[in-house]
Structure 1
Amino acid sequence: MEDLKIHNVNLEKSENLERHRTEGFSSSKTLVVRRGAPFRVSLELEGRAFNPKADTLKIKVMLGRLYVAMPVTFSKRVSSSQWIAYIDPHGLNLQNPSIFISCPASAPVGCYIFQLYVFTQNKKTTCASNKFNLLCNPWCREDAVYIPFEDQREEYIQNDSGLLFIGTAMNIVSRPWAFDQFEPDILEICLNLLQVSPQHKRSRRMDYLNRNNPIYISRVVSAMINSEDDRGVLKGKWEGDFKEGVNPSLWTGSGDILTQWADSGYKPVKYGQCWVFAAVMCTVMRVLGIPCRVVTNFNSAHDTNENLVIEEFYSVTGQKMNISKDSIWNFHVWVECWMTRPDLGSEMAGWQVLDPTPQERSGGVYCCGPAAVKAIKDRRIDLVFDIPFVYAEVNADVRSIVVNEGRVVSYSTDTEKVGAFICTKAVGFPIHQNITRDYKYIKSPTPTLSSRSSTISEDSTPNRDSTLNRDWTLNRDSTLNKDSTLNKDSTLNRGSSKGVVVVLSLDKVPVEGEPVRFTVKVINRQRVAKRMKVHLNAQAKKYNHSPSDTFWESHGAIQLAPMDVKVIRQQILPAEYENVDGDDLINLAVVLEDLASKELFLASDEFNIASPELTIQVADEDSIVLNKEQTAIVTFTNRFSYPVSGVLAVVGAGLIQGKLLFRVLSLHPGSGLTQHITFIPNKVGTKMLQASLLLKNINSTIRGFEMVSVSRA
């Protein structure tokens, strides 16, 4: 009689992908499963049938040189702490028996090889081997990344698109992003990222062992997203031209970046900035099964001397100067990952800050976190990792200092500017969610444009003195050079709260092609008349830099009667700010000088100018089904005062293969663009269709997106 042989091992891919919620990885050649849950394989035998009394099955599972061997039993006993293989005796098919392999909820993440051995009564052995990729399991209660709500698992693991938030707290810009975690080859690239890491090269055995721990994994990924210490994914660049690579503002998703990195033999992709670093890390963490979301901190401090005070210097004419090593980024983007923290205690479980943007070294490497958000809020700077640094990013005070000829002549302190607003994408909706209270104790409501503008009384009408007098000239010799040192004997003036109050506010959200209108409100709290010089100054700036030279200014004088209020209304015309790059911001400052007492009073604001948007309309949006051609229409109206031209790009993970490009010829002011798009959805679920119009004659990109719900036919 012919003996038993293994003809094939069927990985039951369709069933296992559904059971482990990994259907998105169906394009992977390797089975993808999650730890802490069994998966089924079926044997196709040749010769005689399997004899449970005479034949023995064993399985060996290997990750690198680490392995575990286990007998296949008939006991359906699943353990969350060890590897087990069993045959369910109910409905057993002896010619094609099914084997369930269950791995512990703390098994290391990676690409495994498993070998199946059959030992017959004649002592003969046959063997078959195959592979599977093992990921973390946020659906498993015993897994360190377990998150208890299904809508959050869908958002932070399964959602392959999202929104990144940039701009300013007063004018938040939503930037669509494709995380692309289910696109072809992305899973393999993310697993290879762990293999390329210095930790793996240094000790493969220890790296594999440590991959059971999301704390370890997250620190490795945080370091590998930037290329400062290793063969990481992205090279950062914040100034100069981007001719050797791609301007960070032009990336629309993680897939292109990760694919380019892998195809180049793991050479850094040029270039990234904070939101790109964070978005790519979010992709990698979601692929590995660790819940992840992108977070924006508006007015994010970089405190170099760790005194929790950020110093900003202004000249007496309101020009912001590049003196301090400290800085405030208008926004900074990082990620949060969800995990337990057995190293810190159960109270520190939950969201953890991780920042792949290379700013400071942590443990000798450019990475940051995981820093428990709860520890940041409670200022537990005694705990790991990098809590003091992140605490300063959201809590430092801002000291605005006015200097004249190297001497401090006035200063004021703002305790609420830093960390003014912290947000992430809301679960299930394309809007932002305010999570500021997760990071800090809030004494008063987070400011908005409307609340700041409401400080202007409706009946405060300007009189004839409220118009700036342009007839006098200003001595510019008071500008402080970069190498000037402050005179420590200078008298610091804190009198603004008692004598004169100046409030600077935008009248409305600035929009490209329209004047920037703003109001200066001056309040005299003293019972004496005052005559004051007024200096207004506007400078363009990158979100993470001090401003460049002044591009607009105005100087004049006003008279204030005792206990008087003056309202000054001003505007910056489009022609005056047209050379400000598309993603740049504007630093606007006003300095008042009391001509009698020589006291100085400063108010400043930084804002972005909103770009017009593309509109995407999907035909029959309630009947979009898998593998059926659909149509969308992209429209844009040129609201600029001059013709524009460029290239329209349309992408959509799960909707469009690759990228669609269309050349846009000259659009005259007021004319419109209408572009029909056809696409065939290849994945079920809510997907993002996004379009971007790169304008060639000005440094600006117009964006738009539409969420598309795809159902099965």
Structure 2
Amino acid sequence: MGENLQVELVYFYPKENSKPHKTDKFELIYDEENPVPILRRGLKFTVAIRFKNDRFVNLEKDQIRLFFNFGPTPNPIKGTRAVIKLNTTRKRIEGENFWGANILDSSSDLILEVYSPTSTPVGVWKLEVETSLVNSTLPPSVYKHENDFYILFNPWNCHDLVYMPDERLLDEYILTDVGKIWVGPYGSSRGREWVYGQFDACVLPAAMLMFEKSDLVPASRGDPIKVCRTISKLVNSNDEDGVLVGRWDGQYEDGTAPSAWTGSVQILQEYLDTQFSVSYGQCWVFSGVVSTICRALGIPSRVISNLVSAHDANASLTVDKYYNVNNEEMDFDPNNPMGEDSIWNFHVWNDVWMARPDLPQGYGGWQAVDSTPQETSDGYYQCGPSSLEAIKKGQVGFSYDVAFMVASVNADVMRWKEDSTRELGFARIYTNKYHIGRTLLTKQPFIFDPNGDQDREDVTLQYKAPEGSKAERLSLYNAVRGTELAKSFFALPDPGLEDVEFDLEELERIKIGEGFCVVVHIKNRSDQPRTIKALLSAASVFYNGVKAHLVKKEDIEAVVKPKSTETMRMTVKADEYLDKLVEYCNLKLYAIASVTETRQTWTDEDDFEVLRPKIDIRIPPEITVARPTTITLRFVNPLKKILTNCKFSLSGPTLIRNQVIRYGDVKPGGLVKMNTDITPRSVGDQVLIVTFSSKELVDIRGSAKVAVVEPEE
């Protein structure tokens, strides 16, 4: 025995290891030329080493060391380099939190079971094998395995920080690759189907590219707190070359309209191919990509839609609007020259599941992370992870960004009118404690409803106590005590006793082409007549609350008799709003009124949606695997204008991979109809998601559930 063992090859058993590691859905494992092993930390995996030498391994004379390396400068102290010296005396026991290996067989090839700790950094690892002889002067021989492998978080392991005790839920929050995101105003929101596609071949490489562009050091990539905070920063492109460019103004000609996306895979594939940020995204698109990346990495994730969401720009825990002495809304915030508060008719972020060893006991579990650029945190556009328990209790001193999330779901809406007699120069004329965070929704586990919303789950009570309850007020006031500017806003007295009641009638939805009315009901509770001067208006708005076009405005005056009621009404015809609609077809009603005799002032607003048609997908309920099936897509153009730059986007895991089909112009009221073929790649229940977009009309969508079966014998 005069020479070192020479390694011929190393084999990771990618398919065999994937079953116990629950990674067998990843496409990378089945690459015919270069199958990529994908493993979970804290769980043993099998490796085989074959030697060129014409002799057996003798560990009394052969020294074999395995070096597992992570990142550009691996270091054992930082946990990015593991050194395992093989021996036959010390047996590695499962549950020990260090790297180790046991020899299963050495009769021909050397068969090992290798253990990684539950703190292992997550991402791409490399292996080197060093061989030498005991008491030999020969230098060691080093074999560098040319293929990388992935190690992921392990939510099935109770020692991992992302461990979820109810393991049944991991089928939804890790393994389910099609979901729903609730979009639209309160009262008319609907679940929008989204293909997460976390097992697609592009997803893990795209996630690694994202981390390479970040400032997160390799040693920290095993910490789910830091990983999720980085994801919230890098899915948007505001600070670094992240995945998606955000845009909300309807101008998407040089990219893809957010409403045209059907899922995350096409976005991440483009990001990986070009190495540049993809245009364009909005909050619900950002959240879909975040869930894809988190689920791929092994972090349980769900999408959260907050219907009526506050953007508190000045950390006052209020959403403030200001009016001049003539009841006209001011276009700036006198208390925040850097920006102004807004109310999004819906906003979407993510919850991720993890322990929080940096917080007191009881604040682990679901944590909110928001990748939509709104306000900076530690100098970057990032948000979270914020413990839902901390948000619910108003613990704004806990990391990270709890105050911003408290405001998002539970800020008070305040209205201010110019008044030179007041110290602030404004008098508070209105407070609404119930408007923000009307409902928080996510997809219910294990259910998918392609035709309705039977699969939605209301998680409002996980974010705050019941609205109007003593516990809800106490938690908000607890947050106020920890927020300097909020103290001054909440310390001001409420307006005095007011003897006229106002109520803006809410609209939930109308069909496109229908008219509507802005209606205010007035009740005079006093013994004297009251003169009411009101301004009613309607405007089209983007879903983030930014006004697009004024549709109509009317000044109305009325005298309400003592102890009686009156109704003010403004009628809006379809022709008055159709050419002023912007994407998602959201309209906002505004009303402001003042009482001449008492100087009482009231204001309110309401959002609603103009409903567009759905795509009718005609597909057999059962189709055969590996055989083409023709499907038909159809709907009627609801507008009195030609649709141009039309295209369909189709997606569905194993059914069709991100296909975009151009379509010709569509006449006013014309039928849009297209046939295409799909060829399913695997059996089981599948979902097909389709969107249609044009220059004049966007966010037309539909979905269908289909069973894919084996061919008959």
Please tell me the TM-score bracket, short chain as reference.
0.7 to 0.9
* Other structure's SS at 1:98 match: strand
Unaligned runs of 5+ residues in structure 2 are: 30-34, 76-80, 334-339, 449-454, 470-488
Aligned residue type for 1:30: V
* Other structure's SS at 1:36 match: coil
Aligned residue type for 1:566: E
Partner of 1:147 in structure 2?
164
Partner of 2:218 in structure 1?
208
Distance in 2 (alpha carbons) for counterparts of 1:405 and 1:385: 39
Of residues 335, 339, 353, the one that matches 2:368 is 353
Of residues 85, 108, 117, the one that matches 2:101 is 85
Aligned residue type for 1:246: T
Alignment of 1:193-592 (within 5 A): 193-199=210-216, 207-239=217-249, 241-265=251-275, 267-314=276-323, 320-324=329-333, 325-402=340-417, 411-430=429-448, 431-443=455-467, 494=495, 498-506=498-506, 508-517=508-517, 519-548=519-548, 550-567=550-567, 571-578=571-578, 579-592=580-593
Aligned residue type for 1:235: V
Partner of 2:126 in structure 1?
113
Q: Is the 8 A contact 1:51 1:94 kept in 2?
A: no
Distance in 1 (alpha carbons) for counterparts of 2:494 and 2:553: 25
Give a deviation string over 1:149-175, Cα, whole Å, max 9, x none. 334212222222322222222221333
Distance in 1 (alpha carbons) for counterparts of 2:167 and 2:667: 47
Partner of 1:647 in structure 2?
647
Q: Is the 8 A contact 1:157 1:291 kept in 2?
A: yes
Give a deviation string over 1:612-669, Cα, whole Å, max 9, x none. 2112243133xx5653434433231334455545222222233213314041442552
Distance in 2 (alpha carbons) for counterparts of 1:275 and 1:507: 24
Aligned residue type for 1:70: I
Deviation at 1:32, TM superposition (A): 0.8
Aligned residue type for 1:349: G
Greater CA drift, 391-400 or 683-692 = 683-692
Q: Is the 8 A contact 1:223 1:229 kept in 2?
A: yes
Q: Is the 8 A contact 1:234 1:268 kept in 2?
A: yes
Greater CA drift, 44-53 or 374-383 = 44-53
Of residues 96, 99, 104, the one that matches 2:109 is 96
Q: Is the 8 A contact 1:409 1:492 kept in 2?
A: no
Asked whether 1:702 is paired with 2:703, we answer no
Q: Is the 8 A contact 1:317 1:591 kept in 2?
A: no
Distance in 1 (alpha carbons) for counterparts of 2:638 and 2:267: 32
Aligned residue type for 1:62: N
Deviation at 1:399, TM superposition (A): 1.0
* Other structure's SS at 2:699 match: strand
CA distance 1:417–1:166, change in 2 (3 Å): same
Asked whether 1:170 is paired with 2:168, we answer no
Asked whether 1:156 is paired with 2:180, we answer no
CA distance 1:366–1:557, change in 2 (3 Å): closer
Q: TM-score, normalised by structure 2?
A: 0.83
Unaligned runs of 5+ residues in structure 1 are: 200-206, 446-487
Partner of 2:48 in structure 1?
42
Partner of 1:459 in structure 2?
none
Q: Is the 8 A contact 2:195 2:653 kept in 1?
A: yes
Greater CA drift, 289-298 or 93-102 = 93-102
CA distance 1:342–1:293, change in 2 (3 Å): same
Partner of 1:679 in structure 2?
678
Deviation at 1:603, TM superposition (A): 3.1
Partner of 1:33 in structure 2?
39
Distance in 2 (alpha carbons) for counterparts of 1:650 and 1:405: 59
* Other structure's SS at 1:99 match: strand
Deviation at 1:571, TM superposition (A): 4.0
CA distance 1:665–1:549, change in 2 (3 Å): closer
Partner of 2:473 in structure 1?
none
Distance in 1 (alpha carbons) for counterparts of 2:522 and 2:150: 65
Partner of 1:481 in structure 2?
none
CA distance 1:683–1:290, change in 2 (3 Å): farther
Greater CA drift, 104-113 or 174-183 = 174-183
Give a deviation string over 1:241-287, Cα, whole Å, max 9, x none. 3344333333332223223233333x333333322322222222222
Aligned residue type for 1:144: L
Distance in 2 (alpha carbons) for counterparts of 1:192 and 1:40: 28
Aligned length: 653
* Other structure's SS at 1:502 match: strand
Distance in 1 (alpha carbons) for counterparts of 2:561 and 2:365: 57
Distance in 2 (alpha carbons) for counterparts of 1:549 and 1:492: 35
CA distance 1:635–1:239, change in 2 (3 Å): closer
CA distance 1:502–1:328, change in 2 (3 Å): same
Deviation at 1:104, TM superposition (A): 0.5
Deviation at 1:120, TM superposition (A): 6.6
Distance in 1 (alpha carbons) for counterparts of 2:184 and 2:551: 20
CA distance 1:712–1:39, change in 2 (3 Å): farther
Give a deviation string over 1:304-349, Cα, whole Å, max 9, x none. 3322222113568876442222222222222221111111133111
Q: What is the percent sequence identity of the aligned residues?
A: 29
CA distance 1:508–1:300, change in 2 (3 Å): closer
Distance in 2 (alpha carbons) for counterparts of 1:677 and 1:10: 42
Partner of 2:208 in structure 1?
191
CA distance 1:154–1:516, change in 2 (3 Å): farther
RMSD of aligned C-alpha atoms? 3.3
Distance in 1 (alpha carbons) for counterparts of 2:198 and 2:404: 30
Asked whether 1:135 is paired with 2:152, we answer yes
Q: Is the 8 A contact 1:634 1:676 kept in 2?
A: yes
Give a deviation string over 1:491-512, Cα, whole Å, max 9, x none. 99946x7422121123552222
Q: Is the 8 A contact 1:316 1:591 kept in 2?
A: no
Greater CA drift, 324-333 or 133-142 = 324-333
Deviation at 1:391, TM superposition (A): 1.7
CA distance 1:386–1:410, change in 2 (3 Å): closer
Deviation at 1:135, TM superposition (A): 0.7
Give a deviation string over 1:491-540, Cα, whole Å, max 9, x none. 99946x74221211235522222223454322222233445344321122
Deviation at 1:15, TM superposition (A): 1.0
CA distance 1:712–1:392, change in 2 (3 Å): farther
